[in-house]
Chains A and B, each alone.
Chain A
Amino acid sequence: MGEKPRNDRPGGRGGLQASPGAAPRRDSSASDGPPSNKIITANWGNDEVFSLDGYRADGGYEALRTALDMTSADLIDVVKASGLRGRGGAGFPTGVKWSFVPQGTGKPTYAVANFDESEPGTFSNRELIEREPHQFLEGLAIATYAIGSHDAYVYCRGEFLWPDMVLRQAIAEAYEAGIFGESVLGTGYEINVIQHRGAGAYICGEETALLSSLEGYRGQPRLRPPFPAVEGLFGCPTLINNVETLCNVPHIVRNGGEWFAKIGPEKSPGTKIFSVSGKVERPGNYELPMGSALRTLLEEHAGGVRDGKRLKAWTPGGSSTPMLTEEHLDVHLDFESIAAAGSLLGTGAIIVMDESDCIVEATRRLIAFYAHESCGKCTPCREGTWWGARVLERIEAGYGRPEDLPLLEDLGQNMLFRAFCALADGAVSPIQSSLKHFRDEYEAHIAERRCPFTGRGPGVVNETAEARAGDRGLTEVLG
């Protein structure tokens, strides 16, 4: 991915150019598995794999055939041996999750794929589907079979009009080819796939909220236990996996769990797609082995900070993971190393801010997001995100008070781990981490009664700033 600019996408008007010298993904002569560092994006230079024929010509759906010859228990063992951890943010071991789904309960069992991207800054799942939808469908079929299910649902983000159309077409192709339906690849095992679109609610990426939404209710999280594995969709045993997680599955089945386990650090094996955005020269999705340093990703792949500016802050895993700074440039990007640095790997979404960006405004925008997306079920989240947004607006507009900083800290303490789901915790991350690393910037806003970056605020004469504050409905809290 780092080799060339990627302006062309499947389905776009330009068509894709094959990446010269790209290693084939499925090299049957190599017993150690594919030589490339890239696993799930290895084919992104090849537009042929967009279609079923192209995907099959490259060895696609062979792993499903292999899987169907295995027992469920053996298949789950392979995924367990791989050490694959969920790519949706939590990092729970995938094989273990599969093994939690009880079989033979007499109830239907469901497999649900979570395609409700995105955590702000995250854009890997969308591109995985837009470029190679069958890789995902093959992983989904294997997972469905492994848990003894016959019904797979794909919960798609509503705003993904085009990616969802790509997926719909791919599902239709797969049915026609006998990959889905009454007899998967002629084995007599039935798998049906139902595509379900959401309608614009970030919270539906949370697995219990997703289930509520899929069942036709407001997308509000549920208390666990019971866990979805036991009582999920329609009250039945349910497996929920992220799209990127499922994309890894065919490769693991094909090359073996041990092959995967050898890539990257022992506790966070495999590769990860890092979605890099913000102030970098070449934003994009970059698949690297887990444990790569941020410096490598930023400088060798994303082209460094834009316009030669200095790195100020970055999120390792999207907006809900605590910000890190320039001093963390050599931190390794894997679950354990990021945790040791005081943050979370999350979805691997790196949002880069440079020295000219105002951290208070960045935090304000992120909290506004959480205030908008809070489902309203839990008081600490519903009220905390709303009031947090108001206080941050006030500080950014130049009307902050010294006591606002302890107030924000107190707010965080009253939200963290006090709600049904992790949305509230996600909102606390940018508040607490920005206060930890950039407290001086907050203090400057308050002391100067303006934003030091934009100059807006009553500290300087600027009627436009006053008007803007009015526009945002600030008048009642400016006091």
Chain B
Amino acid sequence: MAVLGAEDRARAAEIMARYPKGRERAAIIPLLYLVQSVEGHVTRDGLRDVAELLGTTTAEVEAVASFYTMFRLRPTGTHLVNVCTNLSCALVGAWDVFEAAHDATGAPHGGDVSDDGMFTVHEEECLAACDAAPVVQVDFVNHDKVSPERMREIVERLRNGEVPEPARGIAPTDFKHASRILAGLEE
């Protein structure tokens, strides 16, 4: 089953046109974001769609998709909660935030989805905001100086259908929306 409908195929063509003629393979990352934005993770069918668009094999596309952590190759929650546990964050309490994220969301360790389908928690590497440690991203926007209490509050608000205000900028509504933005669409 094709993942991309007619409308999305037109967007895919726009994405590919950003790159020089004959170099369309460069569009593989934004195209993977595009299929991820439809299904909430990159499925077998999504890989096949991208391969077909680029005139390459599914295996080639999978090799690329599996290299990058932002492509989720297995079912993922409505919201992706990334908790940085690298050194600067770990020094000021990130492990407690990491545990609080699992407790509050009900998502198991190891990156699977919570039973209600709402959350995946991912152990993140340095997010380049160490002045605001511990740092948490919800659907790839930053929350600064997050305590375990604040982590629980963020999860509670997401559960209530709200979009917690990030430290800077604007927040996508969910992981699919974030993937759409990452494809260079809908900003």
Q: Once the chains bind, are B172 and A199 in contact (CB under 8 Å)?
A: no
Q: How far is the CB of A36 from chain B (nearest CB, A)?
A: 21
Q: Once the chains bind, are A201 and B67 in contact (CB under 8 Å)?
A: yes
Q: Once the chains bind, are A158 and B68 in contact (CB under 8 Å)?
A: yes
Bound: A12/B166 CA distance, A: 8
Q: Once the chains bind, are A162 and B28 in contact (CB under 8 Å)?
A: no
Q: Once the chains bind, are A194 and B140 in contact (CB under 8 Å)?
A: no
Q: Once the chains bind, are A159 and B168 in contact (CB under 8 Å)?
A: no
Q: A123-B130, A159-B70, A285-B131 are in contact. Are A279 and B91 (CB under 8 A)?
A: yes
Q: Once the chains bind, are A372 and B125 in contact (CB under 8 Å)?
A: yes
Q: How far is the CB of A53 from chain B (nearest CB, A)?
A: 20
Bound: A72/B30 CA distance, A: 34
Q: Once the chains bind, are B85 and A365 in contact (CB under 8 Å)?
A: yes
The one of A160, A199, A213, A215 that contacts B128, using a Cβ cutoff of 8 Å: A160
Q: How far is the CB of A115 from chain B (nearest CB, A)?
A: 10
- How many positions in chain A have a CB within 8 Å of any CB in the partner chain? 65
Q: Once the chains bind, are B125 and A369 in contact (CB under 8 Å)?
A: yes
Residues on A with beta carbons closer than 8 Å to the beta carbon of B91:
278-279, 351, 353, 357, 362
Residues on A with beta carbons closer than 8 Å to the beta carbon of B87:
120-121, 278, 319, 351, 362, 365-366
Q: How far is the CB of B170 from chain A (nearest CB, A)?
A: 7
The one of A12, A118, A217, A319 that contacts B64, using a Cβ cutoff of 8 Å: A217
Chain B, residues 140-153, CB within 8 Å of chain A (1/0): the string is 11100000000000
Q: Once the chains bind, are A197 and B131 in contact (CB under 8 Å)?
A: no
Residues on A with beta carbons closer than 8 Å to the beta carbon of B128:
117-118, 122-123, 125-126, 157, 160
Residue in B90, B168, B170 with the greatest tally of chain A CB atoms within 10 Å: B168
Residues on B with beta carbons closer than 8 Å to the beta carbon of A9:
167-168
Closest A residue to B172 by CB, please name it. A161
Q: Is the interface of B mostly helix, strand, loop or mixed?
A: loop
Bound: A158/B80 CA distance, A: 14
Asked whether B178 is an interface residue with its Cβ less than 8 Å from the other chain, the reply is yes
Q: How far is the CB of A178 from chain B (nearest CB, A)?
A: 21
Residues on B with beta carbons closer than 8 Å to the beta carbon of A162:
141-142, 166, 168-170
Closest A residue to B86 by CB, please name it. A120
Residues on A with beta carbons closer than 8 Å to the beta carbon of B13:
none
Residues on B with beta carbons closer than 8 Å to the beta carbon of A199:
29, 32-33, 68-71, 182
Residue in A277, A279, A353 with the greatest tally of chain B CB atoms within 10 Å: A277
Residue in A122, A161, A234, A283 with the greatest tally of chain B CB atoms within 10 Å: A161
The one of A121, A151, A218 that contacts B88, using a Cβ cutoff of 8 Å: A121
Q: Once the chains bind, are B130 and A283 in contact (CB under 8 Å)?
A: yes
Q: Once the chains bind, are A123 and B29 in contact (CB under 8 Å)?
A: no
Bound: A162/B170 CA distance, A: 7
A259-301 residues at the B interface, CB under 8 angstroms: 275-279, 283-285
Residues on B with beta carbons closer than 8 Å to the beta carbon of A202:
125
Residues on B with beta carbons closer than 8 Å to the beta carbon of A121:
87-88, 126, 130
Asked whether B9 is an interface residue with its Cβ less than 8 Å from the other chain, the reply is no
Asked whether B120 is an interface residue with its Cβ less than 8 Å from the other chain, the reply is no
Q: Once the chains bind, are A11 and B168 in contact (CB under 8 Å)?
A: yes
Q: Once the chains bind, are B25 and A168 in contact (CB under 8 Å)?
A: no
Residues on B with beta carbons closer than 8 Å to the beta carbon of A108:
20
Asked whether A186 is an interface residue with its Cβ less than 8 Å from the other chain, the reply is no
Residues on A with beta carbons closer than 8 Å to the beta carbon of B140:
158-159, 161
Q: Once the chains bind, are B86 and A123 in contact (CB under 8 Å)?
A: no
Residues on B with beta carbons closer than 8 Å to the beta carbon of A375:
67
Residues on B with beta carbons closer than 8 Å to the beta carbon of A122:
126, 128, 130
The one of A130, A165, A285 that contacts B181, using a Cβ cutoff of 8 Å: A165
Bound: A411/B66 CA distance, A: 28
Asked whether B165 is an interface residue with its Cβ less than 8 Å from the other chain, the reply is yes
Q: How far is the CB of B52 from chain A (nearest CB, A)?
A: 15
Q: How far is the CB of B87 from chain A (nearest CB, A)?
A: 5
A127-168 residues at the B interface, CB under 8 angstroms: 130, 151, 157-162, 165-166, 168
Bound: A471/B170 CA distance, A: 36
Q: Once the chains bind, are B20 and A234 in contact (CB under 8 Å)?
A: yes
The one of B63, B69, B169 that contacts A200, using a Cβ cutoff of 8 Å: B69
Q: How far is the CB of A304 from chain B (nearest CB, A)?
A: 16
Q: Once the chains bind, are A130 and B168 in contact (CB under 8 Å)?
A: yes
Asked whether B27 is an interface residue with its Cβ less than 8 Å from the other chain, the reply is yes
Residues on B with beta carbons closer than 8 Å to the beta carbon of A200:
68-71
Q: How far is the CB of B179 from chain A (nearest CB, A)?
A: 10
Q: How far is the CB of A196 from chain B (nearest CB, A)?
A: 7
The one of A12, A166, A194, A351 that contacts B167, using a Cβ cutoff of 8 Å: A12
Asked whether A219 is an interface residue with its Cβ less than 8 Å from the other chain, the reply is yes
Closest A-B pairs by Cβ, 6 of them: A162-B169, A277-B130, A199-B68, A118-B128, A216-B25, A200-B69
Q: Given A11-B170, A365-B90, 8 more contacts at CB 8 Å?
A: A126-B129, A157-B128, A196-B30, A199-B32, A200-B69, A201-B67, A278-B87, A349-B130
Question: Which residues of B pack against A, CB within 8 Å?
Answer: 18-20, 23, 25-30, 32-33, 54, 63-64, 67-71, 82, 85-88, 90-92, 109, 124-133, 137, 139-142, 165-170, 172, 178, 181-182, 184, 187
